[in-house]
Amino acid sequence: MGSSIYSVDKEHQVSVDVVKELAIETVNATEKYTQEDFDRVRRKQDRILMPLMWIAYGIQQVDKTGLSTQATFGIITDTQMEGNDYAWLSTIFFIFFLLGEFPGNWIMQRFSVGKTLAISMFCWGTIVFCTAAARNWRDLMIMRALQGLAESIADPAFLIITGLSYRTEEHALRPLVGLLTREYRRKLTFTSIAGLIFSAVVNLINYGIGRAAQAEPRGLAAWKGMSSISVLVSILCFFLLGTPREVFWLSPEEKKIQAARVAHNNTGSDAQERAEWKWSQVSEALVDPQLYFFFFVTVSNAIPTGGVNTFGNLIYVSLGFTPLDTLVKGTIPQYVLGVCWLSLAGFILSKFKHMRFYWMMLSIIPSFVGMLVLYASPLCRAPSKTDPELSSLVPTTKHNLWAKWGAFFITITGQICVGLVWSMLSTNVAGRTKKSVISIVIFVAFCFGNAVGAQVFQAKWAPRYRPSTIILSVMFALEFVLMVLWRAYYVAINRRRAAKLEARGLSLEERIRLGSLMGETDITDLHYVHIRELAWTFKSNWMHEKVLWVAVGAEVQARSAGSKVQMKSSTLGAAKTDGHYYQK
């Protein structure tokens, strides 16, 4: 390979490395392979990768949020907790979850994503198993801190694997329920829906454990039995997860097909080895408005989600349900609603374009309304000191028990839409280091929001938590407003880029080809719009040339070893193959 060429424009300060032969081969392979080849590899991934990720992510979500169920089965009294001790069990988890993000992302930049995730899974499964041995609040705090540290790698790893394994138009569906073939047959996938289904299944198991514990009070406490479910399943996934380049169940030829299949994402495939850490991309990420939209939307979603995940079952108890009722009449039906909502999302997003933001905003409305209903009294009467029931949520009577149940029941829709938000990281952010930086920021926001959310439910506000419902309502409203602004930002950028592309006369075919090559060379999405690319004419096969280019504002210098190159200046677009940020 030749040495790198750098030419920097004073205004844009853009530099591009040598275009490696591997990148050119990957992009040109999109023409070498047929759609049948791509479909064959995708179906193999769906059969192997998706079930594994579904299981792994589902278990992780159950382990992360299982504290609420344990609370209704005696963990608070058995470990002599007082005041806000219980809330701190959730907060400490997310503090250490946050602390583990930075070294975790650094490790995944340099080592196998799959092996790193596997080690993480084994560690957190062992820790959760050992939770049953905790005798007091201090022991639980230590266990929850270690569990948060071990699980911190999981979410970024799942995002990386999804982004490198599937095309842009598939990113929104893999976190939900997708219609994955051209015939639109339903397939069940991982992330949000995996967590919901696993939570429902595990809560059914917990129900049996709880019934057995009630029948034999001197036996193992129910909350201790609930801590031992995940360790065995985590071992099954130990050697099987990874990016397309890492897994053993794809042949060398299938790995080339997979790299070519996702090349049109323009965000890079997994064909190359670990990329170096680029501080220029760190600087760019810090000034990109996308980073701040990701951060604040995630925080505004994580605060109510963290609070409900920690105190949801206790809220059901405060409404008048028994601990066992909270499972079969509360959380399990709520998870079923979540599965149905995400299934509908997968159908809608596969049928209609540019609906992702609209669906996320629609999802927030029931959560906002539900929290307001919990805050208000049935007759909208003012609080009264002589009528304490009216100064807290909806009064608990047989007449309105199910009305309050319904209000809390529908809040699940807003909590689970964050999976669609995170899918835009794979869709709209290019540059390996930049993507890692924004991934870190997202999970900082996630940890911060969840840690704060647990503290929103103060012991002094129990059992009705009236101020808590107001705070959660405000967070849902803020999230809605931020999504409106975020979509407006993308629309404005897309229109600006579309005008530039039209003025330069670059055809869609040229845009797709050059955008794919830029993605393979680790160019960030913000730089795409500044680069003026070319229509090459080679005397020999384009695929066998060594092409060197450098962005210099309005032009690109191209060199070829052994061939003359004819260039025509034109504009290259961003992010998706049509030059636009993806909103589907």
213-to-207, 221, 224, 226, 367 alpha-carbon distances in Å: 10, 6, 10, 11, 34
pLDDT at 490 over 80: yes
pLDDT band at 234 (very low <50, low <70, confident <90, very high): low
Q: Which residue has 């939570």 as its token pair?
A: 199
Q: 446 and 519 share a domain?
A: no
Please give the single-letter amino acid code of residue 153. I
The pLDDT assigned to 385 comes to: 44
Do residues 301 and 421 touch, judged by C-beta distance below 8 A? yes
Letter for the amino acid at 310?
T
Residue that finishes a domain, picked among 435, 461, 496 = 496
pLDDT-based confidence at residue 292 (cuts at 50, 70, 90): very high
Expressed in angstroms, the distance from the first to the final Cα of the chain is 39
Q: Where are the alpha helices (DSSP H) in 131-221?
A: 137-151, 154-165, 168-171, 191-215
If one compares 536 and 90, the residue with the highest pLDDT of the two is: 90
pTM of the model: 0.69
| Rounded Cα–Cα distance for residues 389 and 532 (Å) | 68
Helix (H) or strand (E) holding 81: none
**How far apart (Å, rounded) are the C-alpha atoms in residues 448 and 443?**
8
Is residue 431 one of the residues assigned to a domain? yes
Average pLDDT score over residue span 159-188: 50
Question: Residue written as tokens 């069990």?
Answer: 89
Instruction: Lowest mean pLDDT of 121-130, 251-260, 279-288, 551-560, name the range.
Output: 551-560
> Would you call 464 helix, strand, or coil by DSSP?
coil
Do 339 and 456 belong to one domain? yes
Mean pLDDT in residue range 139-156: 86
* Rounded mean pLDDT, 360-387: 70
Q: What is the mean pLDDT of the chain?
A: 70
| 15 and 99 co-located in one domain | no
CB count in 10 Å sphere of residue 13: 14
Peptide bond into 463 cis (omega under 30): yes
Question: Could you count the other beta carbons within 10 Å of the beta carbon of residue 255?
Answer: 19
Chain segment 381-393, per-residue pLDDT in tens: 334 444 444 334 4
Question: Are 191 and 158 in contact, with CB atoms under 8 Å apart?
Answer: yes
**Could you tell me the pLDDT band of residue 84, with boundaries at 50, 70 and 90?**
confident
Question: Do residues 26 and 159 share a domain?
Answer: no
Regarding whether 329 and 196 lie in a shared domain, the answer is yes
| pLDDT over 70 at 406, yes or no | yes
Non-local (6+) Cβ contacts of 126 within 8 A are 231
Taking the C-alpha atoms of residue 489 and residue 440, their distance in angstroms, rounded to an integer, is: 22
Looking at the DSSP bridge assignments, the partners of residue 387 are: 384
List the CATH number of the domain containing 197.
1.20.1250.20
Q: Which residues, 6+ apart, have CB-to-CB distance to 461 below 8 Å?
A: 467, 468
Q: What gap in Å lies between CA 511 and CA 517, rounded to an integer?
A: 10
Residue 98 placed within a domain: yes
State whether 103 and 146 are in the same domain.
Answer: yes
What is the total count of domains within the chain?
A: 2
Cα 139 to chain centroid, rounded: 31
Distance CA 174, CA 171 (A): 5
Helix (H) or strand (E) holding 336: helix 332-351
Q: How far is CA 181 from its chain centroid?
A: 22
Distances (CA, A) of 306 to 196, 275, 455, 476, 580: 15, 34, 9, 13, 34
> Does residue 356 carry a pLDDT above 50?
yes
pLDDT at 569 over 60: no
What residues form DSSP beta bridges with 547?
560
**547 occurs within a structural domain:** yes
In this prediction, residue 482 has a pLDDT band, given cuts at 50, 70 and 90, of very high
* Residue 272 dihedral angles phi and psi, to the nearest 5°: -95, 165
> Domain end: 467, 496, 525, which one?
496
Of 109-113, 143-147, 211-215, which one has max mean pLDDT? 143-147
C-alpha gyration radius of the chain? 26
Task: Note the pLDDT tens digit of each residue in 187-221.
Answer: 333 455 666 776 777 777 767 766 766 666 565 55
> Which residue in 420, 410, 354 sits closest to 177, CA to CA?
420
Asked if residue 466 and residue 520 are part of one domain, the reply reads: no
| CA proximity to 418, closest of 195, 206, 223 | 195
- For residue 581, the one-letter residue type is Y
* Whether the Cβ atoms of residue 456 and residue 300 lie closer than 8 Å to each other: no
- Residues 69 and 155 placed together within one structural domain of the fold: yes
**For residue 49, what pLDDT is reported?**
77
Question: What mean pLDDT do residues 130-139 have?
Answer: 82
Structure confidence at residue 303 (pLDDT): 94
Domain identity same for 444 and 387: yes
Domain identity same for 205 and 153: yes
Q: Output the six-digit token pair for 334.
A: 């709520």
Name the range with the highest mean pLDDT among 16-20, 158-162, 524-528: 158-162
Among 454, 475, 496, the domain boundary falls at 496
Domain co-membership, 22 together with 158? no
Domain region containing 334? 33-270+280-496
pLDDT of residue 288 exceeding 60, the answer is yes
Please report whether residue 368 resides in a domain.
yes
CA 327, 332, 333, 337 torsion: positive or negative?
A: positive
Asked if the structure places residue 275 within a domain, the reply is: no
- Cα 392 from chain centroid? 35
User: In this structure, what DSSP letter does residue 330 have?
Assistant: I
Q: Give the count of beta carbons closer than 10 Å to the beta carbon of residue 211.
A: 12
Cα dist from 481 to 51, 65, 358, 369, 583, whole Å: 35, 27, 12, 15, 17
Lowest mean pLDDT among 40-44, 122-126, 369-373, 388-392: 388-392
Strand partners, 178: 187
Confidence of residue 336 (pLDDT cuts 50, 70, 90): confident
Find residue 552's DSSP bridge partners.
555
More confident position, 149 or 73: 149
Report helix, strand or coil for 119: helix
CA distance 418 to 450: 13
Is 24 in the same domain as 40? no
| pLDDT for position 552 | 29
Q: Which residue has the higher pLDDT, 407 or 564?
A: 407
